[in-house]
Amino acid sequence: MAQGPTITTIAARAGVSIASVSRVLNGLPTREDTIRKVMAAADELGYVPNAAARSLKSNRTYQVAFAMADIGNPTYVAMVREIQPVLKAAGYRLVLHSTDGDVDDELDVLRRLGERYADGLIISPLRGFAQQHLDLLAGAPAPVVVIGSVPQDTPVDNVRTDSRTGVRLALEHLYGLGRRSIGFLNGPLDTIPGAARAAAYTDALAALGLPYDPDLVEVGDFYRAAGARAAHRLLERSRPDALLCANDLIALGALDALREERLRVPEDVALVGMDDTELATAAWPTLTSVSLGSAERGRRAAELLLDRLEDGAAAPRIVTVEPTLVVRASTEGAS
Amino acid sequence: MAQGPTITTIAARAGVSIASVSRVLNGLPTREDTIRKVMAAADELGYVPNAAARSLKSNRTYQVAFAMADIGNPTYVAMVREIQPVLKAAGYRLVLHSTDGDVDDELDVLRRLGERYADGLIISPLRGFAQQHLDLLAGAPAPVVVIGSVPQDTPVDNVRTDSRTGVRLALEHLYGLGRRSIGFLNGPLDTIPGAARAAAYTDALAALGLPYDPDLVEVGDFYRAAGARAAHRLLERSRPDALLCANDLIALGALDALREERLRVPEDVALVGMDDTELATAAWPTLTSVSLGSAERGRRAAELLLDRLEDGAAAPRIVTVEPTLVVRASTEGAS
């Protein structure tokens, strides 16, 4: 059992000088019987070599970091649940960073990779890859896998989803239910998902032959309370018969707002979330939601990183996970 | 902008040999003008000293770790939301470990503290502090703060809650509503919360003059699906008019089961969760829940750790956070 042995306790146990222990642990030439005594004492005391000293030699920490925007968003939890076992089976411990989607925080995580506290990084940058990300990425001393979009030809392993198809599936479903006034509660347009979903919503409306009505669109943030506020603002000026929400947290907020306005879901307003998190089934009525394959994206990212740790020179790969629509009570009525 | 400078690019920029750069960066004797050239080049290239090499000198990584059982449990998310800003304001980055409540995993986190990848650790051990934890703790080379109970006189900073009082508040509330057949869905008895809540339930029943009926008690796990299964088992053999659940996830599972059995909440069965997580308000009906002050426990733990990082020699402190009962629709009917 490790009792936090130090160079001093090892010296005492081995019956040699502190200087001798230091020489042995640092691999300097020493008398053979001294080496044997020190190694035996270190072993008995459960001595753990200092990671700093050790990583200078082995160049491996057997830690991998995952940097995500918000530990409170079940999308990322679903990713962690898949990433962790894949890495663990390969002997790596996972450490997590919750960046609040703050670009400086993300850049700091990338920069600190240079300090070799982890052998690799999976990062899901909320506001996309800026030039600064790319600069740091180019010189990253450890493999990086990005979950989310990156600019074309960025030389990095990348797992993405197709939210455009996801939005289209949601609107076609609502259209099929006879809804024609389909509102949209989005997150910030300077985020990757916000921008992508805004474009996808516009395109999907056009494909269905529905007009784009700015009164039916509100932009808030990817949190529940922000979703409720956005829904209230939208309902003040228009009366949609369906609402698409850019994630499940926004949809939960919309559900709060609709309840306050005494509108029934789905009778008056059909409601669709995105990400298909566990909140979708915690809510009542349960939420129809676009699954963007978070679990699968997490698993694929972990696999790409392990491959990269094996072979740093292979060509970067892009994996795309297809979305699906999971229909529940918030659009179809019966639980 | 850091372009991931290496010893090679620094050598090229400085116009000196790689061996010279190595000598300078490792602090070995070198000609003064060589030192100047290398330092200037390293500076221009944004060279980040290797954490390993640097921490051997400064002994600080400016990272703090938080090890919790399950990143998917909103109790821990609530803690993280408080811990992170407190540490960030003091210049520390937070890294997270999700241990699945696995004792070996927790021990590994404690052991790796010896490798100096973090300056301190906040840990919430699900199954309590075994002798092995204590052994490692005694020799921990970095400060540790424990959220949860520790054996008396353990020399460690400790933030705890009083779940006994929390359970009593819940049962008094249900009793006040006229409920007399109050069941209990617990988590594993070999966990700290499971054991504490089992004892508290028995005591609270006795204090109210209600008999203990083993048919009204089920033990499962702290997850939603396990809660649903436990509720089904209990409902097969008895018909309580109220259910206390050892956390909100179990309560969500119980809600699923009650819905399947076509029992109304709260008319037929009043339902109380514990931890007062965001799931309590996501559920419908919204859940009455015992708040064990997760956010406050997180904040206090971060503060204790910062104090300890300043003054390693101060006497260990114990902080107790008082529980409260948050009454919602699952016991009182109206939303």
State ipTM.
0.71
Average the pLDDT over A249-270 and give the result: 96
Residue of B53, B96, B282 lying closest to A96 (CB–CB): B96
Residue A177 vs residues A182, A212, A217, A267, A270: alpha-carbon distances, Å: 11, 19, 20, 11, 9
Sheet containing B270-274: give its strands across: B217-219, B182-186, B242-245, B270-274, B288-291, B324-326
DSSP conformational letter for B114: G
Find residue A68's DSSP bridge partners.
A98
Distance from CA of A208 to the nearest CA of B (A): 33
Burial of B237 (0-12, 13-18, 19+ CB in 10 A): exposed
The Cα B70–Cα B247 span in angstroms is 13
Distance from CA of A51 to the nearest CA of B (A): 4
Q: How many CB pairs under 8 A join A and B?
A: 147
Burial of A206 (0-12, 13-18, 19+ CB in 10 A): exposed
Distance from CA of A246 to the nearest CA of B (A): 17
The Cα A146–Cα A128 span in angstroms is 10
What is the full DSSP assignment across A253-291? Answer: HHHHHHHHTT--TTTT-EEEEES--THHHHSSSPPEEEE
**Interchain CB distance below 8 Å, A5 and B139:** yes
Residue A68 vs residues A102, A146, A233, B18, B328: alpha-carbon distances, Å: 10, 10, 29, 37, 32
Average the pLDDT over B256-265 and give the result: 96
Chain B residues near residue A80 by CB distance under 8 angstroms: 71-72, 98
pLDDT at B134: 84
| Interface-testing mutation among A45, A47, A50, A156, with chain B (most B C-beta atoms within 10 A) | A50
DSSP conformational letter for B271: E
Query: Whole-structure pTM over 0.80, yes or no?
Result: no
DSSP conformational letter for A247: S
| Residue A144 confidence (pLDDT) above 60 | yes
On the question of a common fold for A63-161+294-322 and A163-292+325-332, the answer reads yes
Chain A residues near residue B115 by CB distance under 8 angstroms: 48-52, 54
Chain A residues near residue B49 by CB distance under 8 angstroms: 115
**B251 → chain A, closest CA residue:** A282
**Interchain CB distance below 8 Å, B117 and A61:** yes
Chain A residues near residue B108 by CB distance under 8 angstroms: 93
Q: Which helix (H) or strand (E) holds B93?
A: strand B93-98
**Interchain CB distance below 8 Å, B3 and A132:** no
pLDDT at A130: 78
The Cα A112–Cα B49 span in angstroms is 10
Distance from CA of B70 to the nearest CA of A (A): 9
Domains of chain A: which residue ranges? 7-48, 63-161+294-322, 163-292+325-332
| Residue B306 confidence (pLDDT) above 80 | yes
Q: Residue B238: CB partners within 8 Å, gap ≥ 6?
A: B181, B183, B213, B215, B216
Residue of A93, A96, A335 lying closest to B71 (CB–CB): A96
Say how many C-beta atoms besides its own lie within 10 A of residue A165's C-beta.
18
**B77 → chain A, closest CA residue:** A72
Tens digit of each residue's pLDDT (9 = 90 or more) over A189-233: 988 889 999 999 999 999 999 999 999 999 999 999 999 999 999
| Residue B311 confidence (pLDDT) above 50 | yes
Output the six-digit token pair for B334. 């109206």
Core vs surface per residue B252-280: b (16+ CB within 10 A) or e: bbbbbbbeeeebebbeebbbbbbbbbbbb
**Interchain CB distance below 8 Å, A278 and B72:** yes
Mean pLDDT of chain B: 88
The CATH number that domain B163-292+325-332 falls under is 3.40.50.2300
Q: Hey, what CATH class is B63-161+294-322 in?
A: alpha beta
Burial of B7 (0-12, 13-18, 19+ CB in 10 A): middle
Average the pLDDT over A125-135 and give the result: 82
pLDDT at A288: 98
Q: Residue A84: CB partners within 8 Å, gap ≥ 6?
A: A94, B98
Q: Report the amino acid identity of residue A295.
A: A
DSSP conformational letter for B115: G
pLDDT at A300: 97
Tens digit of each residue's pLDDT (9 = 90 or more) over B230-244: 999 999 999 999 999
